[in-house]
Each structure stands twice: as structure tokens, then as C-alpha cells.
Amino acid sequence: MSEQVEIFEVGPRDGLQNEAKPISAMDKIALVNLLSEAGFRRIEVGSFVSPKWVPQMAESDKVLAGITRMPDVRYGALVPNQMGFAAALAARADEIAVFASASEGFSKANVNATIAESLDRFRPILEEARHIDLPVRGYVSCVTDCPYDGPVDPGAVAKVADQLFAMGCYEISLGDTIGKGRTDTVSKMLLTVREHVPVSRLAGHFHDTGGHALENVDCALSLGVRVFDAAVGGLGGCPYAPGAAGNVATEALHAHLDRLGFATGLHPDRLAQAADMAKSLRAGD
């Protein structure tokens, strides 16, 4: 029996958030429904950030209300603060995600706060989520390189990951936000982080800006990581990371893992349909 690797689909949120042309809630709902049929266990559907800063996510509540929910799929949403947390609860998100940075420069640009201040914002959210048994995922951005501060110390990544895990995040996704990570920097980072957080609770989140995402996946696989974020159609980018291209494409990651002999549980035909739709949304067709 093949060893299982899970692909966490982030296309409807991390993939679409940087698209300049407005995409209707109806189209987003259709994309999520296709992804549900493709066999994903977890899909990040939207984000409850200020529409002033990320207008593409303004209708995340309508998307969560309109999707056809599959019984074995968790539909998640990103939240930056308690206001976003309340909105995610009202929209019936099955899980939420909070996000911090391993670099001060990106933290200040992305959330207008220091790393310590951003973590302080999350503590009451994690506490309240624990009381209602709502799963919380944690993201750490800029785990190898920062567009403002340059190379990032692996110890800084481990410190943030450790704090998010200690707060109660069930999984920590480690993001190579600008796609400058290489196997040497990724391996050093992972070796350091897994001294603080069990590797079974880590996920890899690799952008393909430099065309090295799959190499970095292989590196993470060799160190025990078995969950990877990906965006269908290779959508993505970050408004606060100049030059960052899309996430690794889900369909490319699936094919790569299949060649390596890992099982993902995904249905290739449905995944291909979702990828075609995602690409058409990017092109504005």
C-alpha cells in the first residue's frame, strides 16, 4: 500500500487573493465545488481580512454559504484578528487559520505589527477556538527569505512555529513566500523547526517563483513532511511580497507525488477540470 501524502488546497484563498480583476462569488463557489469532488480533505475557501486591503476576499461569507459541503471535507478560512474570527464563525467555517511571519520586515508590511504583536493578537482567538473545538492552523511566512530583510534565520522560524504550536495550532504550514528557497536553506530550516514542533504537525508551502518548488517538496519529504499546500492551476502570489509568483500547482504536485509512489486520494479527472477553471479565472475568460 502506498504511503499517503495530503495536499491541502489553498487555491480559492491564497490562489485568488492576488488577482486584480474581481471574480464573482458564483465562480468561486463553482471552483470550490469542483475541488470538493476531486477528493481533498481540506480546502481553504476564503479570508476574513479587510476588503480594503484584499478586495478579492470580500465575499468569503457568500462563498462559504453557497458551496455544496461534502461530509468528509473541512472548509477553512484565514483570519487576521478577532473581528475576522467572528466573521468566520458566522460563516460556518470548519476551521480557521492564523498567520505570522518569521521576519520583522514582512510582518510589518503584511499586518502592520511586529512578530510579537501579531502573536499577541492570536492568543485570545486560539483560546476561544479551543473552547468550541474549532481547529486552528498556523502559517509562518518567509521561512527562508524575506523581500524586505533578506535571508531568514532558521531559528527565527522555529521560534514562531513553536509559539503557534504552543498556543494550540494543530498544524504549522511553513511558507517559502517569495519562492527563493532552495534545498539547502529548506533543509536547514526544517531540521531546526522539527526540534521544536513534531514533523507530523508540519506542512510545506512552496511558491514556484524560481521553479524550485518540487525540489523543495522532495527535500521536505526526505525529512518527514507529509502535508503540502498547493493552489490549483498554480494560482497565487502575495500582495505584500513583490515579485512572488504563484503557489506550486496542485495538479503538478499531484503528478509528481504519484510518480514518486505516494498516494494523495485525489481524482485526476476532477482535478484537471478544476485546474482548467482556475486558469480561466486568472485569465479573466
Instruction: Give me the active site residues, please.
Output: 238
DSSP codes, 177-244 = TTS---HHHHHHHHHHHTTTS-GGGEEEEEB-TTS-HHHHHHHHHHTT--EEEEBGGG----TTSTT-
- Name the CA dihedral angle for 9, 13, 14, 19, rounded to a multiple of 10 degrees: 130
Question: What are 231's strand-pairing partners?
Answer: 249
Q: Regarding beta strands 227-230 and 6-9, do their DSSP bridges make them parallel or antiparallel, or are they unpaired?
A: parallel
Residue 71: what residue type? Answer: P
Task: Please state whether 41 falls in left (phi above 0), alpha (psi between -120 and 50) or beta.
Answer: alpha
CA distances from 171 to 151, 162, 246, 272, 273 (A): 24, 11, 22, 28, 29
